[in-house]
Amino acid sequence: MEDRKEDDDLHQPNDKLFAATFGIPENAAALLREQLPAPVVAAIDWDGMRLSPGTFVDSHYRRSHTDLLFTVPIRETGRNGYVYILFEHQSSPDRMLPLRILRYLVRIWEKEAANQPPGNLLPVILPVVLSQNAEPWDLPERLRPLLDLPYGLEDALRPFIPDFGYRHIQLGAMDFHEIPGTPAGRLILRAMKAERLGRLLDEVVWDESLILLVPREVFQRLLRFVLGSDIDRGDFENRLGEIRDPELRNTAMTLAQRYRQDGLQQGLELGRQEGRQEGRQEGRQEGKQEGKHEGLLAARRDDLLEALTIRFGEVPADIRALIEGERDEMRLRRLLREAIRRESLESFRREL
């Protein structure tokens, strides 16, 4: 299993926002206490909840899924258990979800078994799935419905068949105001639900009574998330201007301006500076004119790669290779416009 730090660059903004918010035990616990069965909630010492390092998600799912594993003390037993949260922000349901969860649970148990003395019992794991869906999904919440059991043999086969359930929290099935948790957790889940519905600038996300309760860094993450999403910049500016609390409005406007400068514009300028520097270095070696040309190409390539990174996260190796091999300066300029305009990395890929 890989450490989450090694995998950070693969994550999309949704994953980063989720992990930064719900990687804090207090936020995760407040949500889980409202979602798990009452006897389970009562048995867990939530104050002792701790985040464990690592990720157990298959590599090809890491652009649409992330996970968090928490150790939780079980009251009156002296033992620890685990709560495993799988966050999905894919746009379509996966009927084989219980099978994937089983795979992740086995990986956790295997890691635990490798670190335990022989004969120790494995800890119990409570699997929870949080889906960023626009509409509720009709998915099996146990493994058994995926199995083709011969008619009449269900009872006889039951001892040979693995089965388990998981708790599925679907944002698409919740009203904005029914989302439970800490103020920070509620605000971020509202934003995630709104993003799927194209409502990131709605009042329900910009609820000042809620925003004023969250730490400044949570509001900063929210602003970055909104600015990185597909929104109308004019409507965004209007939304900031409608904030009634003067201090909050000034903070929001200042941060938004800084993020815009630190985002695409500064990223592109950095690419130009690096390209000019490379051009000057190559110019001393290969001639002034050629150096200028190479510097310009390098600047265009860096501009493009920086724009893609800001918009979509880590640039896949095949796309990076095509960009770094491109020597048509006009084509690089056109691709930069497409990188800013396109709604997804796959849509941009078709332009290459």
pLDDT tens digits, one per residue of 141-162: 999 999 999 999 989 999 999 9
CB 236 within 8 A of CB 259: no
Query: Within 13 A of 65's CA, how many CA atoms are on the CB side?
Result: 21
Q: Residue 283 pLDDT > 50, yes or no?
A: no
Q: Residue 305 pLDDT > 50, yes or no?
A: yes
Q: Residue 336 pLDDT > 80, yes or no?
A: yes
Q: Residue 18 pLDDT > 80, yes or no?
A: yes
Burial of residue 216 (CB within 10 Å: 0-12, 13-18, 19+) is exposed
CA-to-CA distance for 103 and 311, rounded, in angstroms? 31
CA-to-CA distance for 292 and 280, rounded, in angstroms? 7
CB 103 within 8 A of CB 146: no
Of 285 and 223, more confident: 223
pLDDT at 333 (0 to 100): 86
CB 323 within 8 A of CB 304: yes
CA-to-CA distance for 134 and 212, rounded, in angstroms? 27
Collect all residues with Cβ–Cβ distance below 8 Å to 24 and sequence separation of at least 6. 184
User: Per residue in 83-128, pLDDT tens?
Assistant: 999 998 888 899 999 999 999 999 999 999 998 888 889 999 999 9
Report which residue type is found at 137: W
Of 65 and 280, more confident: 65
Of 64 and 266, more confident: 64
For residue 35, the tally of other CB atoms under 10 A from its CB is: 15
CA-to-CA distance for 320 and 352, rounded, in angstroms? 11
Query: Taking the alpha carbons of 40, 42, 45, 46 in that order, is the dihedral positive or negative?
Result: positive
Averaged confidence pLDDT in the chain: 85
Report which residue type is found at 254: T
Quote the percentage of the chain above a pLDDT of 70: 86
Instruction: Return the bridge partners of 87, or none.
Output: 66, 130
Q: Residue 80 pLDDT > 80, yes or no?
A: yes
pLDDT-derived band at 349 (thresholds 50, 70, 90) equals confident
Q: Residue 328 pLDDT > 90, yes or no?
A: no
Report which residue type is found at 211: I
Across the range 253-282, mean pLDDT stands at 61
CB 169 within 8 A of CB 35: yes
CA-to-CA distance for 221 and 214, rounded, in angstroms? 11
For residue 139, the tally of other CB atoms under 10 A from its CB is: 17
